[in-house]
Structure 1
Amino acid sequence: MWEKVWKWLAIFVGAFIYSIGLNAFLVANHLAEGGFVGISILLLYKLGWPLGLTFLILNIPVLIPGWLVFGHEFILKTTLGVIAVSLFSSLTSHFQVPTHDPLLAALYAGVVTGLGLGLIFRTGATTGGSDIIARLIQHFFRFRMGRTLFAIDVVVIGLVAVVIGRETAMYSLVALFVASRVVDFVLEGVQSGRALTIISDEHEAIVQAIHEKLERGTTLLNASGGYTGDQKQVVYCVVPRTEVPRVQSIVAAVDPRAFVVVSSVHEVLGEGFTYKDPSSA
């Protein structure tokens, strides 16, 4: 029950933070955004239409088909996200942090809006608009969501370049990029690491050394050489980024000819990372 309450609360908290980023840094410094929010900001600049109300009205035509295609649970959360952003965008419209450095404003806007969006996305909700359009296009035409979202943002930023100016569009792109990175950070968490795939005839010695020197777990995977057909055992190990050089040193000391692949792991859960043994407390 408390988990559900937290999710609903996170939508409102995320929407509030996102709205602060919009008004305090983007609107205050005459910058823009992508998607439906970007269109709403353009209409605010040129016609004086209120940002929150315009954003809500633009979303109504896409929420209805989204409800019919994706069901009530997803759209219910998304509708709540849309209403929360619309409401808080209106309530925080007086939050203004103008600066003479548009690059600084773009960076702060990206961080704050990205943090707000990340909290909303973690609950399984969205802020509607282009996200629903991208999902609908993917559902009916099998076109990737990422490409659709990128295309929509390109069109909106293009409008910003034409209507407001190219320099504003470029600073707005900086804010979009920073926001996307912050969203990734919030969604993936701080428990990121690296996965090492180690192929060596000395796998037993490597496993023992990792256990003794790093106290990290390993997994042995059965594999066969694609060319020779020889049976091998592959060592798989996940460690924090700071421990990668130590693993590489251990492997090199045991078998300098070992084949090692290091891959990014966005989130690591479980023993050694997030799980704490109650008996050790």
Structure 2
Amino acid sequence: MKKTIVVNLLLNTVGAFLYTVAINGFLISNHLGEGGVTGLMTIFYYWLKIAPSVTNIVLNGLLLLIGWKLLNKQTVFYTLYTITMISVFLKLIGSMRFPLHDPLVAALIGGALMGVAMGFIMKGEGTLAGSTILARIVNKFFGIKTGSAMLCFDLMVAIPSAVIIGFENMLLTIVELYLSAVILNKLLAQFVEKRSLTIISERFKELASALSDATKQGVTIIDGHGYVSGQKKQLLYCVCDTKDLVKLMNLITEIDPKAFVVMEEVRSTYGKDLLRIL
């Protein structure tokens, strides 16, 4: 338990640092915007010269109150830690700037860093508050991908920001938001990527025992019968990590070379000892 907390805090710290580098180093340096609270943070900085660290802690603190009853307390704790670290890093490396001749490059690098940063933070069971909290809530109740939901909320801030940062930079901001959402979805998919196997074999009991030992989880036996032959059949169904797929296929071939196997991608799993919906 303590090891898990330490690992999660480390992931959130790294994510907060990368997020700050993206904001200070590439977005603000090149007069680009963002979405959600971060977008408001950049707008207030350009317009009123309010320190981003102040906007971050105040607005995200308010949104945490909304998420308090809808998100589990562990997520709220990690989120509070993360937004605090972001404000600290914004103070410590506030002078970090990477002005580039081509703002498109800044948008691409900033978007990539933002996506990776959010992936670290969500892997560490935290959020960035802001639109991330709203996206997590939508994900929890409607099953919409977190990255996609965040993109929708972020656009609500990014598009009107054209008044402050200009139309061209607003379009580049949308490119940055899209890239960060794609990278986030890909990273979260990697964290929970699984495959399901449906197997028809005469040696189903032996296969079920071997697969259960190999995956350290249950295997379901389903009774069926062949439509053409009319014979009774037993189907095995199991879910495994993608990294274990080759090992399991070799195991199946070794036990029953004639086994019929159907493999499918699993977008998300939910239940005891399984990971959350993306």
Same fold (TM over 0.5): yes
1:175 and 2:176 are equivalent in the alignment: yes
Partner residue of 1:263 out of 242, 265, 268: 265
| Pairing 1:166-205 to 2, within 5 Å after superposition | 166-189=167-190, 195=196, 197=198
**Which one-letter code corresponds to 2:108 in the other structure?**
L
1:85 and 2:86 are equivalent in the alignment: yes
Q: What is the rounded CA distance, in whole Å, between the counterparts of 1:230 and 1:105 in structure 2? A: 63
**Which one-letter code corresponds to 2:116 in the other structure?**
L
Change (3 A) 1:136 1:114: closer
Farther-moved stretch of structure 1 (174-183 vs 229-238): 229-238
Change (3 A) 1:154 1:94: same
Q: What is the rounded CA distance, in whole Å, between the counterparts of 1:151 and 1:80 in structure 2? A: 25
Q: What is the rounded CA distance, in whole Å, between the counterparts of 1:44 and 1:225 in structure 2? A: 68
Q: Kindly, what percent of the aligned residue pairs are identical? A: 28
Deviation at 1:15, TM superposition (A): 0.5
Farther-moved stretch of structure 1 (166-175 vs 112-121): 166-175
| Pairing 1:26-45 to 2, within 5 Å after superposition | 26-45=27-46
Q: What is the rounded CA distance, in whole Å, between the counterparts of 2:156 and 2:231 in structure 1? A: 53
Q: What is the rounded CA distance, in whole Å, between the counterparts of 2:227 and 2:74 in structure 1? A: 50
Change (3 A) 1:144 1:186: closer
Change (3 A) 1:48 1:203: farther
Change (3 A) 1:187 1:143: closer
Q: Residue by residue, what CA displacement relative to the aligned partner does 1:34-90 show, whole Å, maximum 9, x if unpaired?
A: 111011111111221111211111122222343355464332221111111122123
Q: What is the rounded CA distance, in whole Å, between the counterparts of 1:7 and 1:166 in structure 2? A: 39
- Listed as ranges, the gaps of 5+ residues in structure 2 are 270-278
Number of positions where the alignment pairs a residue of Structure 1 with one of Structure 2: 249
Deviation at 1:107, TM superposition (A): 1.7
Farther-moved stretch of structure 1 (170-179 vs 30-39): 170-179
The question of whether the paired residues in 2 share the 8 Å contact of 1:223 and 1:232 is answered with yes
* 2:164 match: 163
Change (3 A) 1:169 1:226: farther
Deviation at 1:261, TM superposition (A): 5.5
- Listed as ranges, the gaps of 5+ residues in structure 1 are 268-281
Change (3 A) 1:230 1:68: same
Deviation at 1:263, TM superposition (A): 2.2
Q: What is the rounded CA distance, in whole Å, between the counterparts of 1:241 and 1:168 in structure 2? A: 44
The question of whether the paired residues in 2 share the 8 Å contact of 1:203 and 1:234 is answered with no
**Which one-letter code corresponds to 1:117 in the other structure?**
M
Q: TM-score, normalised by structure 2?
A: 0.69
